[in-house]
Structure 1
Amino acid sequence: MKALVLAGGSGTRLRPITHTSAKQLVPVANKPVLFYGLEAIAAAGVREIGIVVGDTHAEIEAAVGDGRAFGLEVTYIRQRAPLGLAHAVLVARDYLGDDDFVMYLGDNFIVGGINDVVERFTRERPAAHIMLTTVGDPRQFGVAELDATGRVVGLEEKPPVPKSDLALVGVYLFTAAIHEAVAELKPSWRGELEITDAVHWLIADGRRVESSVISGYWKDTGNVTDMLEVNRLVLESLEPRVDGLVDEASQLIGRVVVEPGAEIERSRVVGPAIIGPGARIRDSYIGPFTSIAAGCAVSGSEIEYSIVLPRSSIAGVSRIEASLIGHDVEVTPAPTTPRAHRLVLGDHSKVQISS
């Protein structure tokens, strides 16, 4: 079995962060979301992996390399534009050959891994096996309709009137039969080749499509709210560790990780939280569910339930919460007079100001 990881999307819902960075590399607990998926694939015993990349291919390739760090053999597959999940299967046709494969969306986060579903698929070998989870508003997802035995009898993409509350999770398992289906597809109203249409083709052609409803946690980390929630979840499982320097005037409370080279002076850090390599925390409060990445500097400030990306600086700011702060950002207080906010914001930014 091979794996096909999709890492070519543009990440419009995470702009402006994704104007300059691949959405799959935005970190959760200081580790890129993509890495969690690669680790899950390796843990399931899959070794050969094709990563579908687009405009951010150089950044993805620099981060993942040849895959040896994950116990994988990586091949990069270029996709000229994000034209749908089924289009990714189409451009990977030569790489996949006639092998079974697991397709994993690189910005998805699944607690519990995929070992069980890979084992079941290998044992039963239906034409396709999809993973599902119950959601509150199925209209925002691909939705599956099951019969009494759990076999999939229908799929709809973002239906106005859903037939169930079972949404597709971003992991699919296929035999080579999927290539027949993809070859028959026409672009949807979105101009994309939809994987839901391909799976529906298999069903209509009498092929067996099975499903499993995951009991663990799943998130598509496509927006800031979900990124912060996944960050919270991962930080909950931290084992406290101090490899950096913490002075006697500082307090570490609860599950806190201080990475090598980090320095904490006259500050209070309440976990779960992680302070990245080389970060400097001075005269500050770092609250629960916060990830401070490598090379950051926080001084005279308070921050909680937030993600701060590498090399950013926060100085003299009374309170920051529920925020995603990008690479090389500077956050400082405004002058006391005149009382005005001075902003330099990129496209698609979102700012909330407490006056």
Structure 2
Amino acid sequence: MKALVLAGGSGTRLRPLTHTSAKQLVPVANKPILFYVLEGIADAGVTDVGVIVGETADEIREAVGDGSRFGISVTYLPQHQPLGLAHAVRIARDWLGEDDFVMYLGDNFLLGGINEQLEEFRTRRPAAQIMLTQVPDPSAFGVVTLDEAGRVTGLEEKPEFPKSDLALVGVYFFTAAVHDAVDAIKPSARGELEITDAIQWLLDQGLGIASSTVNGYWKDTGNATDMLEANRSVLDGLTPYCKGSVDDKSELVGRVVVEDGAVITRSRIMGPAVIGRSTRVEDSYIGPFTSVAEDCVVVDSEIEYSIVLAGAAIDGVRRIEASMIGRQAQVTPAPRTPQAHRLILGDHSKVQIRS
């Protein structure tokens, strides 16, 4: 059994953060999404992992290395253009050989791991096994229809008029039969080789397609709203500890993690929250469901339900919420005069300003 992890793609929905960083390395509770994926694979007992990489390959390689820190062995497989999930399977064909494999999208967040689903696949060994969840807007996903007995009857990729509200979760289990399917399909109207088309081909050939519904927490962390929600979910299960310095004029309330070298002075931290190593928090309030990464500075400010990435500085700002602050970003008050907004924004940014 092998694992194929997709860590290419340009992360357009998370811009401007992903102009300079791989979307799979944006952190949830101060740990990159991709690390949760690799840990889940290792916990399921799969140690031979191929990682599909694209234009952010160097950053992915630097972060993951040879995989030994996760208890796995990693082989990097370059995909020069993001031409679809089935295209990634085609690229990995020689490496996969005739082995069964799990394909896991590197920006998908699935609490609870894949142990149960993997065991089910190993026991039944259908040509493909998919995971489903109900979503409010299925047109943004691959959509699956089932008959009254719960058997898969059809799949469509991002249909304009979905036939069900069951979306594909970004974790798939395959036997080597999928390679014939990938070879048989043609690019979609989007110019991509769709994995939904490959699974539909298997279905049309009368091969077994198993499905299960995700009962735990799952997010496709493709945008800021979903990242913040995933961050909230992880922090909600936080085990508190303090390895940094907290002065007697500060207060930690609830589930708060303070990492090595962090310094909290005259501040109030309301959990669940995590303060990264060597971060300084001074004369500030950090509210629930906030993760502040390493080497940050928060002074005379208030922030909650937010993600602050490494090296960011927030000084003299009231109040920040439901926000993502990028690496080395600086957030400061605007001058009181003149009464105007002064902005320096990256491409595709979205800003909400009180009029």
TM-score interval, normalised by the smaller of the two chains: over 0.9
The CA distance in 2 between the partners of 1:107 and 1:160, in whole Å, is: 24
How far 1:251 sits from its partner (Å)? 0.6
The CA distance in 1 between the partners of 2:273 and 2:153, in whole Å, is: 44
The CA distance in 2 between the partners of 1:149 and 1:202, in whole Å, is: 19
The CA distance in 2 between the partners of 1:164 and 1:269, in whole Å, is: 43
Confirm or deny: 8 A CA contact 1:278 1:295 kept in the other structure: yes
The CA distance in 1 between the partners of 2:63 and 2:276, in whole Å, is: 17
Q: Which residue of structure 1 aligns with residue 317 of structure 2?
A: 317
The CA distance in 2 between the partners of 1:108 and 1:132, in whole Å, is: 13
Q: Mean Cα displacement is larger for which, 129-138 or 334-343?
A: 334-343
Q: Which residue of structure 2 aligns with residue 33 of structure 1?
A: 33
The CA distance in 2 between the partners of 1:172 and 1:102, in whole Å, is: 6
The CA distance in 2 between the partners of 1:62 and 1:335, in whole Å, is: 40
Alignment of 1:38-49 (within 5 A): 38-49=38-49
Q: Which residue of structure 2 aligns with residue 159 of structure 1?
A: 159
- Kindly indicate whether residue 316 of structure 2 is the aligned counterpart of residue 327 of structure 1: no
The CA distance in 2 between the partners of 1:233 and 1:204, in whole Å, is: 39
Q: Which residue of structure 1 aligns with residue 192 of structure 2?
A: 192
| TM-score normalised by structure 2 residue count | 0.99
Alignment of 1:127-142 (within 5 A): 127-142=127-142
Q: Which residue of structure 1 aligns with residue 92 of structure 2?
A: 92
- For residue 5 of structure 1, give the secondary structure of its aligned residue in structure 2: strand
- For residue 90 of structure 1, give the secondary structure of its aligned residue in structure 2: helix
What do the CA deviations read for 1:21-74 (whole angstroms, capped 9, x no partner)?
000000000000011111110111101000000000000000000000000000
Alignment of 1:240-251 (within 5 A): 240-251=240-251
The CA distance in 2 between the partners of 1:99 and 1:197, in whole Å, is: 21
The CA distance in 1 between the partners of 2:248 and 2:308, in whole Å, is: 25
The CA distance in 1 between the partners of 2:309 and 2:101, in whole Å, is: 33
The CA distance in 2 between the partners of 1:164 and 1:335, in whole Å, is: 52
Alignment of 1:1-355 (within 5 A): 1-355=1-355
The CA distance in 2 between the partners of 1:312 and 1:160, in whole Å, is: 40
How far 1:110 sits from its partner (Å)? 0.7
How far 1:157 sits from its partner (Å)? 1.2
How far 1:338 sits from its partner (Å)? 1.4
Q: Mean Cα displacement is larger for which, 273-282 or 338-347?
A: 338-347
How far 1:148 sits from its partner (Å)? 3.5
- For residue 179 of structure 1, give the secondary structure of its aligned residue in structure 2: helix
What do the CA deviations read for 1:101-138 (whole angstroms, capped 9, x no partner)?
00000000011110011001011100000000111222
The CA distance in 1 between the partners of 2:78 and 2:153, in whole Å, is: 33
How far 1:159 sits from its partner (Å)? 2.0
Letter in 2 for 1:17: L
Letter in 1 for 2:293: A
Confirm or deny: 8 A CA contact 1:268 1:286 kept in the other structure: yes
The CA distance in 1 between the partners of 2:4 and 2:92, in whole Å, is: 8
- For residue 341 of structure 2, give the secondary structure of its aligned residue in structure 1: coil
Confirm or deny: 8 A CA contact 1:290 1:305 kept in the other structure: yes
- For residue 161 of structure 1, give the secondary structure of its aligned residue in structure 2: coil
How far 1:350 sits from its partner (Å)? 1.1
How far 1:162 sits from its partner (Å)? 2.2
The CA distance in 1 between the partners of 2:341 and 2:145, in whole Å, is: 51
Show structure 1 runs of 5+ residues with no match: none
Letter in 2 for 1:43: D
Show structure 2 runs of 5+ residues with no match: none
How far 1:151 sits from its partner (Å)? 2.5
How far 1:217 sits from its partner (Å)? 1.0
- For residue 298 of structure 2, give the secondary structure of its aligned residue in structure 1: strand
How far 1:199 sits from its partner (Å)? 0.2
- For residue 346 of structure 1, give the secondary structure of its aligned residue in structure 2: coil
| TM-score normalised by structure 1 residue count | 0.99
- For residue 117 of structure 1, give the secondary structure of its aligned residue in structure 2: helix
Confirm or deny: 8 A CA contact 1:150 1:210 kept in the other structure: no
What is the aligned residue count? Answer: 355
The CA distance in 2 between the partners of 1:128 and 1:318, in whole Å, is: 51
Q: Mean Cα displacement is larger for which, 268-277 or 130-139?
A: 130-139
Matched-pair identity in %:
68
The CA distance in 1 between the partners of 2:257 and 2:117, in whole Å, is: 33
Confirm or deny: 8 A CA contact 1:219 1:230 kept in the other structure: yes
Letter in 2 for 1:318: R
How far 1:149 sits from its partner (Å)? 3.5
- For residue 350 of structure 2, give the secondary structure of its aligned residue in structure 1: coil
